[in-house]
Amino acid sequence: MEVQEVFVEPPKKKRNKKKILLITLGLLILIAAALAIFANAYINKSLAQVEGTIELAMLENEVTVITDKNGVPHIKAENEHDLFIAQGYIQAQSRMFQMELSRRQASGTLSEVVGEAAIDQDKYFRTLGLRRSAEMSYEIYSDEAKQVLQWFADGVNAYIKLAQDEGSLPIEFKLIGSEPGEWTPLDSLTIGKYMAFDLGGHWEQQAFNYYALTNFDEQKAYELFPKYPETKPTIIGEDEIDVASSFNQAVIPHAFNGSNNWVVSGDKTKSGMPLLADDPHLGLATPSIWYQMQLETPEIEVSGVIFAGVPGIILGHNTDIAWGVTNTGPDVQQLYLEKRNPDNANEFLYEGEWEKAQIIDEPIKVKDGETIDYQVVETRHGPIISDFANEEAKDTAMSLRWTALEPTTELEAILEINKASNWNEFEKGLEKFLSPAQNFVFAAKDGTIAYKANGNIPIYEDGDDALLPLEGWEKENDWNGYIPFDELPTVINPEKGFIATANNKIVGDNYPYHISNVWAQPYRYERIAEVLAAGDDFTIEDMQNLQMDQTDLQAREFVPIFAETLKDEKLSADEGRALDLLTNWDFVDNVDAAQPLIFQQWMDEIESILYKEIPEDVMDLFGSRGQTTNNILRSGDDSIWIQENGGMEQVLLTSLKNTLDDLTEAYGEELSAWQWGDYHQVQFPHPLSNVSPILAFFFNNEDPTPVGGSSVTPMAASYDSESGIVDHGASWRFVIDTSEMEKSYHIVGPGQAGHFKSDWYHNQMDDWVEGDYHMTVMDENEGMKLTLKP
């Protein structure tokens, strides 16, 4: 039987609704596509221009900028006037948002664009007075240096004006609802002062030591000191300061801020000429703290890196010399206990007399809020930093004296160093590099290698005085000037054929001056020296491999101690397997190995047990914790901190059990399947990525990447213990063979550009993890050509 298909026409009203729905959906798709195209075009407008022509009226002659395949601009000008204008312009079009945040953070004006969330941070930086110090420093700069600063600022401002006129400022400015103001020479100097802050000193360690002595028995407290004092430091028994509440809003630089550098004599290299390597360890973020550039005029040809917002090249090489730095870490910050007049909160005792402090108005503007009338109190020693300048009129407060808060001339030094052609000229330039104190290593094509611990380092009659806050009312506690320049630690062409530094102790007991009580743990230096002492015929590749070396000498020291201590203990099956894994380890913090994960977590757990009495906010001040923990473990049952936690065996057993319980929960029951890289991963976060997941998706660009190394390996990768995210490490890696001064090898993680749509935004992330360097050639003619015309 045939069945006929019957078509029933839907009601006209339903057909119209469906048609309207389809039309609406289509329109929405078209609108979304149009918005996406518009947004993409708008965002792309702010990409740095690297080809074509840009007119800059203030130029005297044409300037050529060749941007090579790695995003490195090579600026060639006929004179320094045009060179530094061009450098300011090129930096700004690639890094303007970073420069804006940098000057605001250092100046204490973030609240103007961020709002109330930044008030406490602004108060702290207003109290420190980095910008006030920059103003004092500017006054002692030469006219020539001031002119360079102004030329650089003119270039930055030319970019700002053009970008505002064309609506091409980076999208970040739109997101925070702000635009950059005029750039000034003081902005560049203030950023320089911030770097001195980031490389800091040890005031927080003094505050921690003070806390320890006022909360624990004397002997127990001294075990926490970076060294056991031979003479008892002065300690105030009355009017004690609550350290935790006094400094809970202070911004503490990362304890891991340090670096590696070394130079190798031509006697130990394949080329017969010196090799130099440098990798400064700082915060890892997007964009990089460094910007790689080359600058050239008939009088200067220099290549390397500089902080965004600053002229010149601070680290790198010219056609005759190369240099690099690490942080010396001297005691350049001193806390002073100040007795306040109970009848006048702005007067402080000094040599039996009440002395009036300077009161500085620092009004803080707040986005979408009222301006805060904030005042800073400065004694003869420096600003009151406890309780942020007299919010509570206590009878005792703490002030900070710090070399960076005095007038200093680092830019003068940079400009002279850039033109130096030998060690004598280079060292002459260092006389003007005063803060922060740095370990400079040097190599020249004439075969010289050299080292100098350079900067203003205060003279202490007794180094133990730098362990604690001093009585500010006693003149005898004032600094006695600075170590004379000619007596700073210096080495030239040593017989062993190399010089290396890794923030380690740099002088022996026979050196007549105190440098520091707090040094980095020696493991990075020991590994570097171990390799350099054992080898010959070194090449560029050998230096790169050493920068990426993941050998863990801390584990090499302590795993045998731990195994010997626990050899007679009854262990669980997992504890036995863990010890077996560790004792058969090659002590390399390899990304795929289980042993680094077990050992590093075990060390963290030991600290959790030992220091459980210390409040978390006070632990932030405990900068020498790693050094102290190692000393306690070496002491074993002789340590009070070990004794009070049941003895060495009990501390190790409890911490190992806790470690394995945590790791099993996180990574499963098969110990040998665990990998260091499952936990230890690197990401270079953008400053706006915490605002929302959407911004994080665009600005962070990639998921965290597993990475080897640790805080104690030459391949430095210090991490946040809560998340495992690597947040400090080699912010730049640099190697050069002085037999070929025109070539140098670099990694600038995560990349050169500040714009998330640039090809050079995160293109060096994998390079950073894997150790893939790019070569930069001084006479670079290949690349994208931009002409800046008058």
Detail the residues annotated as belonging to a binding site.
331
- What are residue 443's DSSP bridge partners? 322, 449
Q: Give CA–CA dist 303/87, Å, rounded.
A: 13
Q: Give CA–CA dist 454/441, Å, rounded.
A: 10
Q: Give CA–CA dist 325/318, Å, rounded.
A: 16
Which residues are CB-contacts of 19 (< 8 A; sequence separation ≥ 6)?
A: none
Q: Give CA–CA dist 509/756, Å, rounded.
A: 51
For the four alpha carbons of 154, 159, 165 and 171, in that order, the dihedral sign comes to: negative
Q: Which of 482, 691, 659 lies closest to 581 in space, CA to CA?
A: 659
- What are residue 336's DSSP bridge partners? 399, 470
259 part of the active site: yes
Given the structure tokens 């103001």, which residue do they identify?
181
Q: Which residue ranges are tagged as binding site for Ca(2+)?
A: 331
- What are residue 372's DSSP bridge partners? 364
Are residues 721 and 659 in contact, defined by beta-carbon separation less than 8 angstroms?
A: no
Q: Which helix (H) or strand (E) holds 499?
A: strand 498-501
Residue of 188, 259, 516, 758 marked active site: 259
| 37-75 b/e (C-beta count within 10 Å ≥ 16 → b) | eeeeeebeebbbbbeeebebeebeeebbbbbbebbbbbb
Are residues 533 and 498 in contact, defined by beta-carbon separation less than 8 angstroms?
A: yes
Are residues 130 and 193 in contact, defined by beta-carbon separation less than 8 angstroms?
A: yes
Q: Give CA–CA dist 546/305, Å, rounded.
A: 21
Strands (E), 297-395: 301-307, 315-318, 321-327, 333-341, 344-350, 353-356, 358-361, 375-378
Are residues 61 and 82 in contact, defined by beta-carbon separation less than 8 angstroms?
A: yes
- Tokens standing for 350? 């000094």
| 475-511 b/e (C-beta count within 10 Å ≥ 16 → b) | eebbbeebbeeeebbeeeeeeebbbbbbbbebeeeee
Q: Report helix, strand or coil for 773.
A: coil
Q: Which helix (H) or strand (E) holds 596?
A: helix 595-610
- Exposure of 197 in the CB half-sphere (CA atoms within 13 A): 24
531-to-59, 524, 549, 698 alpha-carbon distances in Å:
50, 11, 10, 42
Are residues 379 and 338 in contact, defined by beta-carbon separation less than 8 angstroms?
A: yes
Distance of CA 541 to the CA centre of its chain: 26
Helix 130-140 × helix 185-199 angle, to 10°: 120
Which residues are CB-contacts of 731 (< 8 A; sequence separation ≥ 6)?
A: 279, 280, 281, 282, 283, 284, 288, 289, 290, 749
Q: Using H for helix, E for strand and C for coil, what is the string for 227-295? A: CCCCCCCCCCCCCCCCHHHHCCCCCCCCCCCEEEEEEECHHHECCCCCEEEEEEEEECCCCCCEEEEEE
Q: How many CB atoms lie within 10 A of CB 782?
A: 9
Q: Give CA–CA dist 302/317, Å, rounded.
A: 6
Q: How many residues does the chain have?
A: 790
Are residues 323 and 436 in contact, defined by beta-carbon separation less than 8 angstroms?
A: no
Are residues 426 and 321 in contact, defined by beta-carbon separation less than 8 angstroms?
A: yes
Active site residues per annotation: 259
